[in-house]
A and B are shown apart, each in its own frame.
Chain A
Amino acid sequence: MPDPVIVDRVTKRFAGHTAVDSLSLSVPSGIIYGLLGPNGAGKTTTLRMIMDIYEPDSGSVRLFDTVAGGRDHSARIGYLPEERGLYQKMRVLDVLVFLAEAKGVSRRAAREKALEWLEKLGLSDWRLRKVSDLSKGMQQKVAFISTVLHDPELCIFDEPFSGLDPVNSQVLRDTVLDYRRRGKTVLFSTHIMEHAEKLCDRLCIIARGKKLIDGSLAEVKRTHGGQHVIVGFNGSQGSAQQIFADKKLVAKIQDFGQQAELELAPGADPQLILKGLVDSGARLAHFELASPSLHKIFVDLVGPEAATAAATGGGSNGGDARA
């Protein structure tokens, strides 16, 4: 079976800049796929092109092995944009039924499913209330229900974790994992690497509209960055900094204070570092041979300034939507 989402060399230009530049990616069936990048990297634009909201200037998108865009497959796709809007003056149940109908679900089925989901997420008592009466968290849940109510084969979430409290984040994570268990495909974008690292089977990192790397999580880790060591201190660090500064042993370091992630120099033996640290009088809490964290790879790839922008959440997502 061909991959449900195949993006082939798409380019999208807006007045003044190129948002997505000849990007190709392919999302296999039944996995969780992460589209990673700092703000302004072109994630939202890419997802919008997949959903047929924007037309690419060049290149093509194939969904479920057809040239038809996301709109024609709306009954098979659940799309949750970054800015989750709802009709404030409508009743909760009516909004859900309407949005499902807009995707081509029959009215009766939509009603049934909506009630089921409201029950599941503890919103049953609110079904006849106006959306504006709901708290922000509850509105998030309603928006989420509207995305998955029709039991789509493919879910596309744009920054799904932004603005979610820990409880709702957990609900979302559980649902995403449940989807994979049931053989469905999830494609989501994020700039928070911790989420991606925990969830993704495959990923693609983009910056300034271009693909930097893609593949399975293990592949990405293998191809990028060598062997890593994570050192945790328990109080005194002794003269550990001298060891870290030794270019024969350590190529790069990310120092977090009580913990540090070291990228070993080519051919360096981690045993030598351990010995050096013990000799230096540092009190070690742990010493671990590890593959590089996704965050590390991300920072290396997109550059520290872009990564900082990603972490602080600046940038101009979806600001200029001129087609």
Chain B
Amino acid sequence: MHKVWAIIRREFVERVRTKWFWISAVLGPVLFAGIIVFQIVQSLGGAVRNIAVVDSSSAGLGQRVVEALEASGSFRATLVPSHAGVMDSLKDVVESKRLNGFLIVTNDLVETGRAEYQASNLGMQTIETLQRTLGRLVVKERLEQKGVNPTVVDWAQIRIALDQKKISRGKTVAENAAQSFFTAYMMAILLFMAILLYGVNVMSSVLEEKTNRIIEVLVSSVRPFQLMLGKILGAGSVSFFQFVIWGVSARVLLSLRGPIARALGADPASVQLTLPHIPLTTLAVFIAFFLGGFLLYSAMFAAVGAMSSNEQEARQAQQPVTYLLMISYLSILGLTNDPSSTFARTLSLIPFTTPIATPVRWTAGSMPTWELVASLVILAVGIVAVTWVAARIYRVGILMTGKRPNLKELMRWVRA
């Protein structure tokens, strides 16, 4: 055990010492901070828009539009009477950034619900507010034309606040559909990347020992299986450490979003960004399947490294393993769209696809607990079987030089 521990430590220390580890460790939080700042800046930009209202209507509709826009709190509106060449001069003003855009109001607004908005930037939020505000105004105008009391109209217009909640395994969770989709999607991507990156790490580490021939000294003191195990666990703990760094820095950045918002001159309350709510059980499922998937795939990658004698050979030989992992990656959209389809259920019951498929289905919230347990058992059996085969290939392969074995020879190694 002492020997395995020494191998784990070497693998861990040497990898953490590389600059690539720290580049990716820093890149994660930087990206996350970027997202936060981006969202704050967006909410800033969407605060108050400076627009002009060109009134080409006959009944002073423009003035009422200006009042309604001002009342919405999202716009500072100026009334501009319509005259020849007004559009061109306004375009110049927009060009010079003193105005965000201008709205052209004609009698059509009330009669057919048509208006025109020209702006340097057609932000979603601006358009939505504009449409909503104009819509309310038009409804009011039309009702008044039919003789309805304006106060009644005002009273009748009410905004619906739809409180979205998800039912997950019989419990109501404060989370909306977009959020759980997002969480499941991010998880799948993370799992795929981590398993692939760190699995390939195991492979290149095996290959390194083989090409520099240190392997012979190692296997004279350590059992090949101990060596393979130490390598896999070492690389695994590095990736785990990477996740911890990302997780902690994301948490810290999130708790700092208030000060960041203030520093950027925004109202902290207006910053909507929160991490999607991830219950502890989901986190546990994620970790369990990440570890399982990593063990499964890195054993295969270790075998690939052992049977190759240089980088090119290894790159070729790893393709079948990578394709196996790609199947689940390519199915992510299908999985998140309908997590309870037969397709999704099948994927979560195959050892090679379950490491990604099952956490996605679980997060999307439609997986019975017994299916989760079944997936775990299948994964565990898969790990034992794959590791057994990989260890036999590894044992023979690490001392092999010369040409790569074909499938028949591989079978012989496994049976030997």
Contacts and interface: CB of A to CB of B under 8 A. Distances in A.
A86 B10 CA distance: 13
A314 B399 CA distance: 21
A193 interface: no
Contacts of A99: 217-218, 221
A323 B416 contact: yes
A90 B214 CA distance: 12
Contacts of B220: 51-53, 70-71, 74, 77, 79, 81
Interface residues of A, number: 35
A85 B213 contact: yes
B337 interface: no
Contact of B217 (A85, A89, A107): A85
Given A53-B219, A79-B220, A88-B212, A104 B2 contact: yes
Given A52-B220, A83-B216, A321-B401, A101 B6 contact: yes
B6 A320 contact: no
B3 A102 contact: yes
B223 A71 contact: yes
A84 B213 contact: yes
B213 to A, nearest CB: 3
Interface string A78-114: 0111011111111000100011011110010000000
Interface SS of chain B? helix
A320 B402 contact: yes
A322 interface: yes
Contacts of B13: 94
B216 A81 contact: yes
A86 B216 CA distance: 11
B175 interface: no
Interface SS of chain A? loop
A318 interface: yes
B10 A98 contact: yes
A83 B220 CA distance: 13
Contacts of A48: 216
A194 B221 CA distance: 31
Contacts of A81: 213, 216-217, 220
B400 interface: yes
Contacts, number: 84
B216 A104 contact: no
Interface in B1-55: 2-3, 6-7, 10, 13-14
A77 B213 CA distance: 19
A227 interface: no
B381 to A, nearest CB: 28
A140 interface: no
Which size class do B's interface residues fall under?
Answer: 20 to 34
B405 to A, nearest CB: 9
Given A102-B6, A319-B402, A321-B400, A74 B213 contact: no
B222 interface: yes
Contacts of A84: 213, 217
Interface in B157-209: 208-209
B362 to A, nearest CB: 40
Contacts of A89: 14
Contacts of A107: 6
B217 A79 contact: yes
A227 to B, nearest CB: 44
B215 interface: yes
User: Taking each of B14, B214, B218, B223, which has the highest tally of chain A beta carbons within 10 Å of its own beta carbon?
Assistant: B214
A146 interface: yes
Given A79-B217, A90-B14, A322 B396 contact: yes
A85 B400 contact: no
Given A98-B6, A102-B3, 20 more contacts: A53-B219, A71-B220, A74-B221, A74-B222, A81-B213, A81-B216, A83-B213, A84-B213, A86-B212, A86-B214, A89-B14, A90-B10, A99-B217, A99-B218, A104-B221, A319-B401, A319-B402, A322-B400, A323-B396, A323-B416
23 contacts: A52-B220, A53-B216, A53-B219, A53-B220, A53-B399, A74-B222, A77-B220, A81-B213, A85-B209, A86-B212, A87-B208, A87-B209, A89-B14, A90-B10, A94-B10, A94-B13, A98-B10, A102-B3, A102-B218, A107-B6, A321-B401, A322-B396, A323-B395
3 closest A-B pairs by CB = A85-B213, A74-B221, A85-B214
